[in-house]
Structure 1
Amino acid sequence: MIFDRSLDILLVHCQGESGNVLIGGAPEIPGATVLDKMNHLNSVDSSLRLFVTREPRAQVVHTTNLLLEPTRPGADAAFIVLQPDMAHPMSGSNCICVVTALLETGRVPMVEPETLVRLDTAAGLITARARCENGRCLSVSLDNVPAFVWQLDQVIETPKWGAITGDIAFGGVFYAQIDVDQIGLRIVPEAARALAEAGTEIKALLADQVQVRHPEIPSLDDIAYVMFRDYQPDGSVLTCTTLKPGRVDRSPCGTGSSANLAILHARGQIQTGDVRISRSIIGGIFTAEMLGETTVGGRPAVLPRITGQGYVFGRQQLRLDEADPFAHGFAMSDTWGPQVGEL
């Protein structure tokens, strides 16, 4: 078998959430900044994203992070989150996967007991502190971009559940965060299919009811995810982020946890130095700490730190073949969900 052209992919997960890292073979992506490159992937040429995120090479749960040379001074690397629906600017679990891959492959030299890694993303510069021992990355703490509230208690009209409310906030991408009891479900593994369908249905409704725009990055102007939440008596939050076309995040969701810190701060429930635990639908844990306060475009914002762990579990080589009839991939509703036709 001839592999004249191929993609080299490191298989990584963070608390069960796939965050594979494309470490070699990718074409040059046009653009002066990572944001420009992401916009090119979304609006000009989506072929690379489709190749690595859809069948027959991937399933709905797969994310591939495109590793790039940084465009910001002082950054060690850059990445873009490639998912089946589009390329996204930031993801906490995927960022943890990228840092783990960079260190455990030696692309960024590992320094024990802690290595500092600066990552260029379309959402801004991320500073990661990785705890390292015996050549392994044991945990990663991300100093995320500032998180802020767009609207608290936003009313969302739905045909199925009537008028429900959610908080709209930015934590690297925009979220609608909704108390799960409003849709009559619980955040448990056996409800994953129903949660995924509810989240994608609500996301479609939000497009006509809520307009968002990052005050400093105008092209970030859509609500990327609906996150269901269930606040616990001990102060932790049980999370379930839903992703188009119809699945749930296996991790506690780093950008969602960042947005949650902004919401809690806006409600006067946390202050600088406070730590909250985020738990996923399968029991994974992130810690979310509020490091301080700032502003974004005149809006009050918080500085979040998200800590979790990633695991490198394999390696994959994908052959690039011009004769492949499914070079752009495909997705079917039997496993991808009822809204697959909207991809």
Structure 2
Amino acid sequence: MRWKRTMQLLDVHAEGEIGKVAIGGVPKIPGATTAEKLAWLNSDPKGQELRRFLCLEPRGNPIGSVNLLLPPTHPEADAAFVILQPDQAHASSGSNSICVTTALLEAGIVEMQEPETIVTLETAAGLVRAKATCRDGRCERVELTMVPSFVHELDVSLDTRWGTISLDLAYGGVFYALVDVDQIGLTIEKHNAAALVAAGMELKAAINQAYPVVHPEIPAVSGVAYVMFRSVDPDGAVRTCTTMWPGRADRSPCGTGNSANLATLYARGKVAKGDVFTSRSIIGSEFRVGLKEVTSVGNRPAVIPTISGRGFTFGQQTVALDPFDPLAGGFAMTDVWGPSAGDIKG
């Protein structure tokens, strides 16, 4: 073969959301910390080239993420990882943390202990503790202790084509804008996915222009990454739809989004330490969300969330770069990727 680069990916999904895990062939990423590696991936042309190689066509597709397994820099961590998506590299994700934990254990990279294995993951947002329930060589369920989550601002007003809407800005590993879905005249159901995504992309652009946000302790984490629509089902479960660039809906209930939402619920006095509730995705899959501890980030009150869900492996592949391929740099088209794909160069 005349391939210039090859990487081995393990196919995993967490409650429907695909999070492929690069378990072989990952190049050395510059940076003394995972946060610095994240910043390099988002700023250096070689980092952007790697993201395009993995996330865009012909090797990638608009659904899911690719997780780069990296050597940990924190002494307590078993592994580090950064999440690659078509728009940029991201700091943290609940569904991807479940996918990475499942991959580490079922691929034998971290030794599985039954009935429970503790895996410490290093992300650019901090350490995530994963408690994996294991049986017969399989990772059955993963409970994550997430990074501290906090409210940036509640009840922010934004003038939109739907009128003036109210939203919350909160951090759950990345920054979210949290919007009650009835304000845009929709419900969180599969047949509304395209309309929800279109609204989310429009709102995200307007929110980032009007309300810049930066993590008070991690400057590499800035800007609203996602708009998450929310509602409450008749049984009390929180129904969510996180909208992701360039135009798709998260298939899982969204771990970092629920962490951010948990911070808003705590700020409003609707949950207390020890509470656990169900969050349901647009396809009906579920996470269990808990409030483990109360803490602070800088001078902001914060919560330590737990997110519990299931990961499943479903394949393995080798992706390769042919140096003679004129489309090797990756591309995306609006017919599949959505209208925002027109912003992708190449």
Residue 171 of structure 1: CA displacement?
0.4
Structure 1 residue 102 corresponds to structure 2 residue 124: no
1:139-188 Cα offsets, whole Å, 9 max, x none, are 00000000100111111121x21210111100000000000010011111
- Summarize the alignment of residues 156-171 of structure 1 with structure 2, pairs less than 5 Å apart: 156-158=158-160, 160-171=161-172
Question: What amino acid is aligned across from residue 339 of structure 1 in structure 2?
Answer: S
Structure 1 outlier segments of 4+, above 3 Å:
1-5
Q: Does 1:338 align with 2:336?
A: no
Give the Å deviation of 1:2. 5.2
Q: Which residue of structure 2 lines up, in the alignment, with residue 215 of structure 1?
A: 216
> Which residue does 2:32 correspond to in 1?
32
Shift of the alpha carbon at 1:231?
Answer: 1.8
State the alpha-carbon separation in 1 of the partners of residues 97 and 138 from structure 2. Answer: 16
Q: 1:218, 1:30 → 2: CA distance? A: 17
Residues 316 and 148 (structure 1), Cα distance of their counterparts in 2 relative to 1, 3 Å cut:
same
| Two-structure CA RMSD over aligned residues (Å) | 1.0
Q: What is the DSSP-based 3-state SS (H/G/I as helix, E as strand, rest coil) of the residue aligned with 1:93?
A: helix
1:294-309 equivalences in 2 (<5 Å): 294-309=295-310
With structure 1 as the length reference, what TM-score do the two structures score?
0.98
Check if 1:255 corresponds to 2:256. Answer: yes
Deviations 1:63-106 (A, max 9, x none): 10000010111100000000000000001000100000000011
Partners in 1 of 2:289 and 2:311 — Cα distance?
16
Cα deviation, 1:213-258, whole Å, max 9, x if unaligned, reads 1111122110000000012343321000000111100000000111
The one-letter amino acid of 1:133's match is R
CA shift at 1:211, angstroms?
1.6
Question: Within the alignment, does 1:12 sit opposite 2:12 as a pair?
Answer: yes
Query: Partners in 2 of 1:325 and 1:4 — Cα distance?
Result: 14
Give 1:62 deviation, angstroms: 2.9
Alignment of 1:276-291 (within 5 A): 276-291=277-292
Contact 1:54 1:329 in 2 (8 A): yes
- Aligned partners of 2:183, 2:343: CA distance in 1, in Å? 26
Q: Any residues of structure 2 matched to 1:225-264 within 5 Å, and which?
A: 225-264=226-265
- Aligned partner of 2:57 in structure 1 is 55
Q: C-alpha displacement at 1:129, in angstroms?
A: 0.3
- Secondary structure (helix, strand or coil) at the match of 2:339 reads coil
Preserved contact between residue 7 and residue 320 of structure 1 (Cα < 8 Å)? no
Is the contact between residue 14 and residue 98 of structure 2 (CA under 8 Å) also seen in structure 1? yes
AA of the residue aligned to 1:39:
A
Choose the corresponding residue for 1:132, options 131, 134, 149.
134
- SS of 1:28 mapped into structure 2: coil
Kindly provide the amino acid, as one letter, of the partner of residue 190 in structure 2.
P
Could you tell me how far 1:326 is from its partner in structure 2? 1.9
Contact 1:70 1:120 in 2 (8 A): yes
Equivalent residues of 2:178, 2:227 under 8 A apart: yes
Range moving further from structure 2, 206-215 or 264-273 = 206-215
Structure 2: give runs of 5+ residues left out of the alignment: none
Q: Establish whether residue 72 from structure 1 lines up as the match of residue 74 from structure 2.
A: yes
TM-score by length of 2: 0.97
| Alpha-carbon separation, structure 1, partners of 2:328 and 2:309 | 34
Q: Which residue identity does 1:81 align to in structure 2?
A: I
Corresponding letter in the other structure for 1:28: K
1:291 is displaced (CA, Å) by 0.5
C-alpha distance in 1 between matches for 2:284 and 2:236: 16
- Following superposition, the deviation at residue 325 of structure 1 comes to 1.5
Percent same amino acid among aligned pairs? 56
Alpha-carbon distance in 2 for matches of 1:215, 1:5: 38
Which segments of 5 or more consecutive residues in structure 1 lack a partner in the other structure? Answer: none
Equivalenced residues, count: 342
